[in-house]
Copies of this chain bind each other. A is one copy, B any other.
Amino acid sequence: MRRAPSRITSSDVAREAGVSQTTVSFVLNGTRGQTIPEETRRRVLEAAKRLDYRPRASARSLAAGRSDVVLLALPGVPISANLSRFIEQFAAALAEYGLSLVTHLAEGRPLPDLCAAVDASAVVSLIPFDDETAQALRRAGAEVVLGAGEQGSAGLQEIGRLQARHIISLGRDRLGYALPGGHASQWRVQERLRGVAAECADSGLAEPVAREVEMDAEAAALAVDDWVAESVTGVCAYNDETAIAVLAGLHLRGLRAPQDIAVIGVGDVATARVSIPALSTIGFDYAEQGRELAQAVAARLDLVSEPVPAVEGIARPRLILRASA
């Protein structure tokens, strides 16, 4: 096999610093239980910097029996600005534990394969793994497998409930639900719808009228027709895109939001703020989630000595109602 031009190794650094390779390893890893004099430390560090030394990850992983790689699985998940911020945070927090985050966006390949291919020691997802997948991931070498929505469907339902509550608080007593066209995760869709239905039930209202809404004004208008026929006066949409499509459908029928039918989305995408009319939506505040998730991962990899924070609510972002009116 063709070999890559060989890089600087820790032996090179050792030679440069005039110490043994072991000492280099100790210094660079801050290995505890070793007493390295400051002078030696400095020499090693300087040599490493001078040579622009970077340990070879594969050698480290092989020797240590574990890699520093954390894999975040986001198959087919649209990356909203919010989620971006979360990823940013998560990566930064992991880095403090010496862990590196990579993401997997493609759906094609079996996750365990990829997991093995990058030698990830932890795999994290924002939706629960089914047991079979979790097992496969463990067999593929992942020590930590964290489906961060593991608390169950409560969180998803809560989104639907919050939407419904808002619409109901506007005095609407017959609700519709806009299902996304295309192929969104059916599990998510159903859970959110269930939340809306639950809130309706709690308020003594009838079941929400669910209709699929494609990203097309004309198609959305058909759904609107149905809702009008059913005297629906408020619509909860699966996401902001779908909600904006509903807005377009209403516009096409000469109806106005929120006067005729109030609409609320989910996601707080940028365009929701400047849609016509402005859209009410549920935003996610991932503020501290990245850090918490990183802690959980590090803890399960035995990388922290401090007391492990409760895993409760991890990656259950705070929900924020952004009412437009």
Beta-carbon nearest neighbor of A88 in chain B: B106
Q: Which of B60, B62, B79 has a CB less than 8 Å from the CB of A79?
A: B79
Whether B271 lies near A241 (C-beta < 8 A) is yes
Q: Is A274 an interface residue (CB 8 A)?
A: yes
Give every chain B residue within 8 A of A84 (Cβ-Cβ).
76, 78, 105
Whether B119 lies near A58 (C-beta < 8 A) is yes
- CA of A54 to CA of B240, assembled, Å: 42
Whether B88 lies near A108 (C-beta < 8 A) is yes
- CA of A322 to CA of B258, assembled, Å: 30
Give every chain B residue within 8 A of A61 (Cβ-Cβ).
57-58
Q: Which of B69, B216, B278 has a CB less than 8 Å from the CB of A118?
A: B69
Whether B69 lies near A4 (C-beta < 8 A) is no
Whether B78 lies near A106 (C-beta < 8 A) is no
CB distance from A151 to the nearest CB of B (A): 25
From 253 to 283 in chain A, residues with beta carbon under 8 angstroms from any chain B beta carbon are 269-271, 273-276, 278
Give every chain B residue within 8 A of A220 (Cβ-Cβ).
274
Whether B271 lies near A54 (C-beta < 8 A) is no
Q: Is A87 an interface residue (CB 8 A)?
A: yes
| A36-60 near B? 1/0 per residue, CB < 8 Å | 0000000000000000101111111
Whether B274 lies near A217 (C-beta < 8 A) is yes
Q: Is A68 an interface residue (CB 8 A)?
A: yes
| A122-159 near B? 1/0 per residue, CB < 8 Å | 00000000000000000111010000000000000000
CB distance from A297 to the nearest CB of B (A): 15
A66-B3, A215-B270 known; A57+B107 contact, CB < 8 A: no
Give every chain B residue within 8 A of A118 (Cβ-Cβ).
57, 69, 100, 102, 118
Q: Is A23 an interface residue (CB 8 A)?
A: no
Beta-carbon nearest neighbor of A272 in chain B: B271
- CA of A315 to CA of B143, assembled, Å: 37
CB distance from A286 to the nearest CB of B (A): 13
Q: Is A302 an interface residue (CB 8 A)?
A: yes
Whether B62 lies near A58 (C-beta < 8 A) is yes
Q: Which of B59, B81, B105, B274 has a CB less than 8 Å from the CB of A62?
A: B59
Whether A251 lies near B276 (C-beta < 8 A) is yes
Q: Is A222 an interface residue (CB 8 A)?
A: no
Listed in ascending order, the chain A residues whose CB lies under 8 Å from chain B are: 1-4, 6-7, 52, 54-62, 64-69, 71, 76, 78-79, 81, 84, 87-88, 90-92, 95, 100-109, 112-114, 116-119, 121, 139-141, 143, 215-217, 220, 240-241, 244-245, 247-248, 251, 269-271, 273-276, 278, 302
Using A2-B66, A95-B108, A103-B103 as known contacts, list a sample of 4 further A-B pairs with CB atoms less than 8 Å apart, ordered by residue number in A.
Answer: A58-B59, A240-B271, A241-B270, A247-B274
